[in-house]
Structures are given as C-alpha cells and as structure tokens.
Amino acid sequence: MKFLHKRILKNFILILDQGQITVKKTKLCESEVPTVKINKIRMRETIISYAFLAPVLIFFTVFVLAPMIMGFITSFFNYSMTSFEFVGLDNYIRMFKDPVFMKSLINTVILVVGSVPIVVLFSLFVASQTYHQNAIARSFYRFVFFLPVVTGSVAVTVVWKWIYDPLSGILNFVLKSSHIISQNISWLGDKHWALLAIMIILLTTSVGQPIILYIAAMGNIDNSLVEAARVDGATEFQVFWKIKWPSLLPTTLYIAIITTINSFQVFALIQLLTSGGPNYSTSTLMYYLYEKAFQLTEYGYANTIGVFLAVMIAIVSFVQFKALGNDVEY
C-alpha cells in the first residue's frame, strides 16, 4: 500500500513516497513577503530601542527602585549598627508620638504652604512685567533671577549667612539705619525669626526657573485672541483670566508640583545655616531623617520618616494635579 506523507519546511515540501524523498520548492504568497520583512524590521527596531533603554533601566532599578523597596521593608525593622530586629508598626507608632518629628512636620508644612503660592504668584508677576520688554531687558532679568539657581548652594549659603550676621550683617545695618529696629536681631539664632529667614532664602533660589518658564509660556499665547477680546471691550483681568490663564495652566501645574517637592525636600540650607536649631525651630522632615540616619544610625526609624515623606509628597502632588490638571489642555 502506498502512503504519502508531506511536510512543509519553510519554502520546501518534503514528499515521502515508499522511501523516496521528493523535494519541491514552493512559493510564498506575494502578500506574505512584505509582511515578513515588516515584522523583521519592527523586531529589530524594538531590540535596538530596548538596547538603548537598558542602561537607564538598569540604573533606575539598581539605584532608585531597589533602595526604595529596601527602605520600605527596613522601615518595619529596628535597624541600626548593632541590631536588625523586626518590630512591625512600632516605628510608625513611635514616629507619630515623637515631638521632634511633629515639630519638623509642622515646619515643613509651613515652608511648603508659604513658599509655593508666593513662588507661583511672584514668578507670574515678574514674567508678565518683563515679557513685553526688549530682548536686552528680558535677558538681564532672567540672568538676575536665575543666578541663585545656577550658583552652588554653599556659595549662596555663605552670602546669606553674612547678610543675616547679627553683628556685621547688612540686613541689621539697613534696618537700624532706617529706624525699623532698635537693636540687632539674631535672624538665624532666634526661634521666632529663624524659619522665616530660611523661607526667604528658599524663595530666592526657587523663583529663577519658574520666571523663565512663564516667559516662554507667554510666547505661546495667541495674540489675535487677546486683541479681539480687547476690541470687544474686555478688561485686562478678563483677558488674563479667560485667555492667558488657560494657556499658562500647564506651566503653572509643573511649577507648583516641582516647587512643592523641592520645599518638602529642603535640606542643604538647614544643614549649612542652622543645623535644625535653635531648639529644632528650623528642623524639617529631610533634616530630621538625616539626623536619625547618619548621626544616630537609627536607619529603620529614618526609613520610616522617608516612607511618610514620600507618601505625603505623592498625596499633595496628586491633589495639585487634580485641582489644576482638570482644566489643562494638552
């Protein structure tokens, strides 16, 4: 009895007929050839794309994601130089009962609430006033306000420490010469003034980038709509609120979120000027975390503070995005 067995291998058919092998070449359908080539090109592009992304993904995984996971896990341990013991939620309970933590939390909230609205409003005001100036004036203002940003934090700190110096500082000299104060004030040594002094420095280093971003965003506003609204009798406030503000919302959202994150994470100014004093009146969550981790080696408790800070930043940023992002048109 004859039997016939066919097997298709790529472009060939093997026919087995009573021990004899017949090879017949087949032709692919004309429509299959382009599809195969396109799939190969797409696969090659995908592999190349992942090859370029691989270093970034590896760096993010090793130096960002893994430490975050380890920090969250160790927040449930009594982790120090001499012990590593699971304590569950004891670190979180201890954190909310810690008076220094609560004081640092209040100081951080004051810095955020006080700096973010001022940065947004001041940057918007300066940008609106300088946008219609000539190119030289705009460049000058951008340079002046952006200079503290590009200057190192140590140099900025040295300058402000001299300004706030209680004996030879220029601030006390100007205020006494103007008869505003009668005696020198220790701006960084007095618990009533220290946090305000830190906030002023934070504002000067935070408005540079927002001003440049607002000036760039104002260039994207359709001037024809502005002129048409003015011809129709709209006031300057109506022109701003109905035409300019919607165009500036994406930039405002970005500035608000970035300024919030930077205010929550303020550390260098505290470390270099006051070290959290006097009596923790300028201590923030970031500085208190640093103190617990690197001075007292309480790594588990420090990671607990870090987890709380990360969650707090995420919640505030989400609220800002929902409040401003709903009206943003991308």
CATH code of the domain covering residue 210: 1.10.3720.10
Q: Where are the beta strands (DSSP E) in the chain?
A: 4-9, 12-17, 20-25, 77-79, 84-86
Task: Clarify whether residues 226 and 320 are in a common domain.
Answer: yes
Whole-number pLDDT of residue 29: 52
Task: Clarify whether residues 107 and 153 are in a common domain.
Answer: yes
Whole-number pLDDT of residue 236: 85
Task: Clarify whether residues 276 and 128 are in a common domain.
Answer: yes
Task: Clarify whether residues 187 and 57 are in a common domain.
Answer: no
Q: Please tell me the number of Cα atoms within 13 Å of 77 on its side-chain side.
A: 13
DSSP, residue by residue, 85-106: EE-TTHHHHHHHH-HHHHHHHH
Q: Cα 3 to chain center, whole Å?
A: 73
SS3 state of residue 303: helix
Whole-number pLDDT of residue 107: 95
Whole-number pLDDT of residue 223: 85
Task: Clarify whether residues 128 and 267 are in a common domain.
Answer: yes
Residue 14 lies in a domain: no
Residue 176 lies in a domain: yes
| Block residue for tokens 């460049």 | 139
The C-alpha atoms of residue 264 and residue 284 are separated, in whole angstroms, by 8
Task: Clarify whether residues 48 and 197 are in a common domain.
Answer: no
Spell out the per-residue pLDDT of the chain, length 330, in tens. Answer: 444 444 444 444 444 444 444 444 454 455 555 676 778 788 888 888 888 889 999 999 999 999 999 999 999 999 988 889 999 999 999 999 999 999 999 999 999 999 999 999 999 999 988 888 888 888 888 888 888 888 878 888 889 999 999 988 999 999 999 989 889 999 999 989 999 999 999 998 899 899 999 988 988 888 888 888 888 888 888 888 888 888 899 999 999 999 999 999 999 899 999 999 888 999 999 999 999 999 999 999 999 999 999 999 999 989 988 887 665 555
Q: List phi, psi (to 5°) of 22.
A: -115, 130
SS3 state of residue 3: coil
Q: What is this structure's pTM?
A: 0.81
Task: Clarify whether residues 112 and 258 are in a common domain.
Answer: yes
Task: Clarify whether residues 49 and 99 are in a common domain.
Answer: no
Segments forming the whole domain that contains residue 252? 91-325
Task: Clarify whether residues 117 and 53 are in a common domain.
Answer: no
Can you read off the two tokens belonging to residue 14?
């093997």
SS3 state of residue 15: strand
